[in-house]
Structure 1
Amino acid sequence: MKLHQSIPVDIAYGSLSLFTTIVHNIFLLYHVDMFVSVYKIDKASFWIGEMVFLVWNSLNDPLFGWISDKKYLSSGKSHDFSVTSIVLQRLDALLWTGPFFAVSFMSFWVQWAYPGLQFVICLCLYDSFLTMIDLHHSALLADIAISGDTRTRLNSRASLFSILGSGSVFLSYAVWNKDNLRSFRVFCAILTLLSLLGFYVMTRVLKQVFQKNVENLDKHVADNSLVRSEDDSDKQKLKSFVKELMTQSNFKWFAVMNLIQVFHCHFNSNFFPLFLENLLGDAISPGMGPFLIGISFVAPHINNLYFLSLCRKYGVYSVIRILFCVKLALSIVMFLAGPNYLWLLCFFIASNRVFTEGTCKLLNLVISDLVDEDYVLHHRNQAVSALMFGTAALLSKPGQTLAPLIGTWLLAQQTGHDIFATGQELGSIKPLHSLEDSKAVSDYREGCFNLLVYVPVVCAVTQLAAWSQFSLRGKRLQWVKAIREGTTHYV
């Protein structure tokens, strides 16, 4: 019996998240510290690199989405596409980008060029392959399922495999040593190999599973009727698409909320070690640090399984709104309590990341609904899933670059300590105050606490204001789903 005959579609789809998560969490946690503390990148090179990355990180999502889906934007008589062939095209893209993504991850952990140059090349190369994976994997969510129940089931399987992949964070803390990186580099090489082989094997399996079980998928996918696309000029297609997108108020409000969400997620990831080291420090046992880091990466995926069950019952909009309210409430409680309640501080540092990341895990469901709305409003023959996901990322990905830039600036403003001015053995996130200078240490700790609390408060308030304007819920969402589920083409 062949392997693919015993693997359901949702398991095969979700397994790809495992091979992304095992390496991407390590990237989020250590790449800034590696370049700042180990490679000693200077401040100017760091800022220039982040700004170059900001531009490329923002542009590559819609660029790759456009390359993938531009042929589906118009109707005519030149080219014929079946819905099944579109799904298989996305799987072919995953088949070659996955292994290259794994190899690009390894390029961070061995110094092979001037730090500033390596920083730019590694970030842009890694993000290019990650973008291709995210776009096509997310687009499959909208392409192979329309009903909310089916999409949440696929998302649940992805969360289960992400939980397994997050185990790499626990192991990484045991091998991370700035003074001797040999064990850490071996660890990263092993993760690279696992990710490379996993993507290659499971993408091939998923293609076989899809081809075998296509008749069991949603009617939209099983229908092999043809989508016709004419040879309109790319410029004409782009103008038309942008004009149509600007009429969708729900997309614009979602973009505002998502930009802040991406910023907050990456802020938490980049500065998690700083908060642990400077706010908790020696007050917790040596094993508590890696436990908090590990649980902060695993818990969002575990919680996501519960959040997705709530989404099936109450809708994605309501669950996300509740999560924003919880984030705001916890931040206010922590602010009122102050930095001296260590166990409450431990809980808040972990839960802040858990609830923020938990929200991020639900956003693909919202974008999939926006894909449906775009399909219905503009009478498309085929949903342009990758292009919609890429355009959403165009407006949100700058948050990924702004997180370390704004975070380091706010840290300097709150504490008076510039992390780039530190080249000593204590590391870049530690102040240079003498151990006897208790007032300076106390002031620095208070500044870190302010940074920890103020950022989620501002983010939550702004997001609640934007999210209240989002109307793709309730009866409107039911209307959109009814039209798309009822027809392969909207007439």
Structure 2
Amino acid sequence: MELNADPVNMGLRLLACPSHLPTAVIYGSLSLFVSILHNVFLLYYVDTFVSVYKIDKLSFWIGETVFLIWNSLNDPLFGWLSDRVFLSTQQLYIEKRSVPQEKRITLAEYLQQLSRHRNFLWFVCMNLIQVFHCHFNSNFFPLFLEHLLSDQISVSTGSFLLGVSYIAPHLNNLYFLSLCRRWGVYAVVRGLFFLKLALSVVMLLAGPDQVYLLCIFIASNRVFTEGTCKLLNLVVTDLVDEDLVLNRRKQAASALLFGMVALVTKPGQTFAPLIGTWLLCVYTGYDIFQRNPLSNVVSAQPKLESDAVLEPTLRQGCFYLLVFVPITCALLQLLSWSQFSLHGKRLQMVKAQRQGLMQGRTPEIKMI
């Protein structure tokens, strides 16, 4: 009895038998830890490679290119393998009941079908820009704090802004999901794009000297951008249903379609630091690969004369980068999102047809 009451022993038993824990707790914990690791890496990896490891520009670009290739290909690869294994098992199950074998399409045929899926194409165009903007905010958050606010706010205030920008999107999603149930995902996402555009224009007109407004904008820009990213998986599930209906499939190829979305949109993760550093160099002449990494450290020592001359130009360049990137992204996203038709009556029709397919009322269905 005493052994069973030992909390250490009980903890070990829980670890040995994870089935005792609710599935939601296990999945939520895994998602939390992955998210922490992912966000810390995104926030500091550019600064770490440049300032600590002093990597040169060519090596950085090569590393980003390798990352782009693998990061884009692994999701559709695993999605294809996942759906093929599942559907192969289903095919054997059908064959045992002597039902005629259904035609299996190849990956090339699937890609050809996807290239004719109009809503998929408009969605990935919009989502590519969204992924770019999310990672641009993460990669350059420390730079914006340093050159726009470091001499006007305390370190603790900067840390608070950083913390809010990561926590608030998760809390906001509770409210966003309630809005999605009332107005639909399409309308909520469109509203967030308009909000991003409006906030950026207001910040541009106010200028870089409005410290409190700048703090609110830097934090809210990340909050609403990350919040939008978290809603887009709901749109992908609708695209899975439309793909099933358009191609009259026996089973939805959900893993594969999620993988194909990642194939097209994940390059935005690589484009963000590359385009961001290039734009910064074009606007200000400030090349992060040629600077003195110790110049970032807050110190009581006076700045060098060259740093003092560069600082106003760099500050102005950072401000323009901060406001013009979301303005450009918002305009392009509103354009592509206006062409997306899988909402309202069209979405209701697809859901109804999908229900009919699942009830086995439609013959001659192809399998992947």
Query: TM-score band (shorter)?
Result: 0.7 to 0.9
User: Which amino acid is 2:47 matched to?
Assistant: D
Residue 242 of structure 1 corresponds to 111
Residue 31 of structure 1 corresponds to 45
Residue 440 of structure 1 corresponds to 310
1:372 equivalent in alignment to 2:241: yes
Which aligned pairs between 1:69-88 and structure 2 lie closer than 5 A? 69-71=83-85, 78-80=91-93
Distance 1:413 1:72, change over 3 A: same
**What's the % identity of the aligned pairs?**
61
Structure 1, residues 446-476: CA drift from partner, whole Å, max 9, x if none?
Answer: 0110110110000000000000000000111
User: Which amino acid is 1:452 matched to?
Assistant: L
Q: Give secondary structure in 1 for the equivalent of 2:150.
A: helix
Residue 63 of structure 2 corresponds to 49
User: Which amino acid is 1:441 matched to?
Assistant: E
Unaligned runs of 5+ in 2: 1-13, 363-368
Q: Give secondary structure in 1 for the equivalent of 2:93.
A: strand
1:313 equivalent in alignment to 2:182: yes
1:391 equivalent in alignment to 2:264: no
1:480 equivalent in alignment to 2:350: yes
Q: Give secondary structure in 1 for the equivalent of 2:151.
A: helix
1:345 equivalent in alignment to 2:214: yes
Alpha-carbon deviation of 1:382? 1.0
How many Å separate the matches in 2 of 1:257 and 1:229? 39
Residue 450 of structure 1 corresponds to 320
Alpha-carbon deviation of 1:61? 1.7
Which aligned pairs between 1:251-262 and structure 2 lie closer than 5 A? 251-262=120-131
User: Which amino acid is 1:300 matched to?
Assistant: P
User: Which amino acid is 2:48 matched to?
Assistant: M
Which aligned pairs between 1:150-169 and structure 2 lie closer than 5 A? none
Among 74, 83, 86, the alignment partner of 1:60 is 74
Residue 290 of structure 1 corresponds to 159
Distance 1:399 1:3, change over 3 A: closer
Structure 1, residues 196-250: CA drift from partner, whole Å, max 9, x if none?
Answer: xxxxxxxxxxxxxxxxxxxxxxxxxxxxx9x997695xxx511221121122100
How many Å separate the matches in 2 of 1:73 and 1:229? 12
How many Å separate the matches in 1 of 2:222 and 2:90? 50
Structure 1, residues 142-187: CA drift from partner, whole Å, max 9, x if none?
Answer: xxxxxxxxxxxxxxxxxxxxxxxxxxxxxxxxxxxxxxxxxxxxxx
TM-score (norm: length of structure 2): 0.85
Q: Give secondary structure in 2 for the equivalent of 1:65.
A: helix
How many Å separate the matches in 1 of 2:285 and 2:303? 11
1:468 equivalent in alignment to 2:316: no
65-74 or 383-392, which moves further after superposition?
A: 65-74
Alpha-carbon deviation of 1:299? 0.7
Quote the RMSD (CA, aligned, Å). 2.9
Which aligned pairs between 1:319-334 and structure 2 lie closer than 5 A? 319-334=188-203
Contact 1:250–1:470 (8 Å) recurs in 2: yes
Deviating runs (4+, > 6 A) in structure 1?
A: 227-231
Alpha-carbon deviation of 1:483? 2.7
Residue 32 of structure 2 corresponds to 18
Contact 1:80–1:229 (8 Å) recurs in 2: no
How many Å separate the matches in 2 of 1:485 and 1:4? 33
Among 134, 140, 152, the alignment partner of 1:271 is 140
User: Which amino acid is 1:79 matched to?
Assistant: L
How many Å separate the matches in 1 of 2:331 and 2:262? 22
User: Which amino acid is 1:340 matched to?
Assistant: D
TM-score (norm: length of structure 1): 0.65
Structure 1, residues 44-100: CA drift from partner, whole Å, max 9, x if none?
Answer: 1001111121122222221111111135668x985238xxxxxxxxxxxxxxxxxxx
How many Å separate the matches in 2 of 1:274 and 1:229? 59
Distance 1:80 1:351, change over 3 A: same
How many Å separate the matches in 2 of 1:228 and 1:350? 58
Structure 1, residues 328-365: CA drift from partner, whole Å, max 9, x if none?
Answer: 00000000000000000000000011110010000100
Contact 2:280–2:321 (8 Å) recurs in 1: yes
Task: Count matched residues.
Answer: 342
* Higher Rg of the two aligned structures: 2
User: Which amino acid is 1:287 matched to?
Assistant: S
How many Å separate the matches in 2 of 1:49 and 1:16? 28
Distance 1:346 1:79, change over 3 A: same
Contact 1:408–1:419 (8 Å) recurs in 2: yes
User: Which amino acid is 2:335 matched to?
Assistant: A
Contact 1:419–1:428 (8 Å) recurs in 2: no
Unaligned runs of 5+ in 1: 82-224
Distance 1:358 1:429, change over 3 A: farther
User: Which amino acid is 1:46 matched to?
Assistant: F
Contact 1:78–1:231 (8 Å) recurs in 2: no
Alpha-carbon deviation of 1:19? 2.5
How many Å separate the matches in 1 of 2:81 and 2:303? 53
Alpha-carbon deviation of 1:490? 5.9
How many Å separate the matches in 2 of 1:451 and 1:370? 33
How many Å separate the matches in 1 of 2:259 and 2:66? 19
User: Which amino acid is 1:45 matched to?
Assistant: S
Distance 1:433 1:286, change over 3 A: closer
Distance 1:446 1:433, change over 3 A: farther
Structure ranking higher on relative contact order (CA contacts 8 Å, 6+ apart): 2
Distance 1:336 1:78, change over 3 A: closer
Alpha-carbon deviation of 1:311? 0.3
How many Å separate the matches in 1 of 2:100 and 2:30? 31
